[in-house]
Structure formats: structure tokens, C-alpha cells
Amino acid sequence: MNYLPAYRLKIYRDFKAIEAVDFHGIVRYYERFEQDIHQLDFEEYFDCLASYTQALYEIGDYRKHLVMCDFLLETIIIQNVESWGGEDLYTKTLLAKATSQYYEQEYKSAERILKELVKIAPENTVLAQKLWEKCLLRQKPNWLMRIRALGVGILLFTALFIAVEIFVVAPFFSEYHARVQLAHNVLLVLGLLILFAGELRHVWICHHTVKCFVQRTRQKKSA
């Protein structure tokens, strides 16, 4: 259905009258008048589409946001929209999509997008690099789980050791109490050190992975 210009103007005017930070209002209006908004001229329609997509992200509706990100990115490519509102909407939308995937625990998918963002502009992707590190940190490799299991196992054994010390060694073998107490302290420290070392190594590997990728990409860009 084709609407009269005056009606289309009213649809867009009412949309723009919504406060920019009233994200729930933007979402409600767009979804209520979506069919009418599709009848607007491209620039007006695209403005509504971009605002709606951003509003979904701001209110935390990440599933819907991911769907709209794909549609918005497709529209940007087909219509060759190089910038919008003075910013690169393509890379902004990619970063927002990766962030939504992060919150939805789709870490591998987010990684792929973040790698592409780094390739596009390795000198200007601080947010993408930080988010990529967070994605890597959220994924626990097998070696880390084994180290955690070892550390927790030692701590559990230490708890059992302390119980034996309290109920057996202290009342019946007091001459060995000091040695047993030293042993359980050593076990406790060892267990905690193993856990700490595993987590620290995981953090370093995640940071190093991203850092090396960025450096290689910058070298390729400058070559």
C-alpha cells in the first residue's frame, strides 16, 4: 500500500519526536508502525532502521538485535552506505553484533567478527580487541580445566588432612603436630598457587593471542 506524502511525513516526524534515549519508546513505535515505516523514502526509512537496531541493543534484547544487525548490514552493503551520522555505521554495527553475541554466549561467532574488525582497521580497534580478549577468557580450554581440577583436588585433600590433624594427630600424636601443621600449610599454598598460576596463564595467553594478531595485521597493512 502506498501512503500519501503527508501521512509518511507524520510517521517519520512522530518517530523523530521520541527522545533519543527513550530506547523502549523507539522499539515500541517501530514495531507498531513497521509496515508504515517501510513505505518511507530510503533515507528516512534507514534512519528509523538504524535507530531501532541500536535501541534493541540498548534495552538488552540481544536476540532481536542480532536479527536486525544482519538485515542492517545487508542494507548497508546493498545501498552502499559508507557513513551515517558522521560515523562508519558498518563497523559500528559489526561491533554491536559481536557484543550481542558475547552476551548470548556465542563466543566463537563473536570472535570471527572481531577478527574481521581488526583486519579492517587494526590501528583503531581498541574496543574490538578488548571484547575479543573477553571472549577468549570466557572459553575455558581443556588444559585450564585440568589445572583447576588439580588445584581443587589438592585443596580438598588439604581439608581432609586438616581434619585428620585436628581429630587424630593433635589429641593422640601431639609430638608430630607441628610437622603435620607445616605440611597442611604447604599443601594449602600449593593448591592456591596452582589455581592462581592456571588463571594467570590463561589471561596471558588470551592477551598475547590478540596482541600478536593485531601486530601481524598491522605489518600486513603497512607492507
Q: pLDDT, tens digit, for every residue of 142-169? A: 999 999 999 999 888 888 878 877 777 6
Q: Is the pLDDT of residue 1 over 60?
A: no
Q: What is the mean pLDDT of the segment spanning 174-203?
A: 86
Domain ranges for the chain: 5-138, 142-222
User: What does the pLDDT read at residue 200?
Assistant: 96
User: What does the pLDDT read at residue 206?
Assistant: 95
What is the pTM assigned to this prediction?
0.85
Residue 161 corresponds to which cell in the numbers above?
Answer: 588432612
Q: Is the pLDDT of residue 223 over 80?
A: no
User: What does the pLDDT read at residue 221?
Assistant: 75
User: What does the pLDDT read at residue 47?
Assistant: 94
Tally of CB atoms within 10 A around 169: 20
Q: Which residue has the higher pLDDT, 125 or 21?
A: 21
CA distances from 110 to 12, 73, 101 (A): 33, 15, 6
Q: Is the pLDDT of residue 176 over 80?
A: no
Q: What is the mean pLDDT of the segment spanning 105-117?
A: 94
Q: Which residue type, as a one-letter code, is found at position 94?
A: L
Q: What percent of the chain has a predicted confidence (pLDDT) above 70? A: 95
User: What does the pLDDT read at residue 166?
Assistant: 74
Q: Of 66-75, 109-118, 213-222, where does mean pLDDT reach its minimum?
A: 213-222
Q: What dotted CATH number matches 5-138?
A: 1.25.40.10
> How far is residue 38's CA from residue 66's CA, in Å, rounded to a whole number?
20
> pLDDT category, 3, cuts 50, 70, 90?
low
CB-based contacts of 21: which residues, under 8 Å, 6+ apart? none
Reported as a single tens digit per residue, the pLDDT across 27-50 is 999 999 999 999 898 999 999 999
CB-based contacts of 73: which residues, under 8 Å, 6+ apart? 90, 93, 94, 97
Q: Which residue has the higher pLDDT, 176 or 154?
A: 154
> pLDDT category, 87, cuts 50, 70, 90?
confident
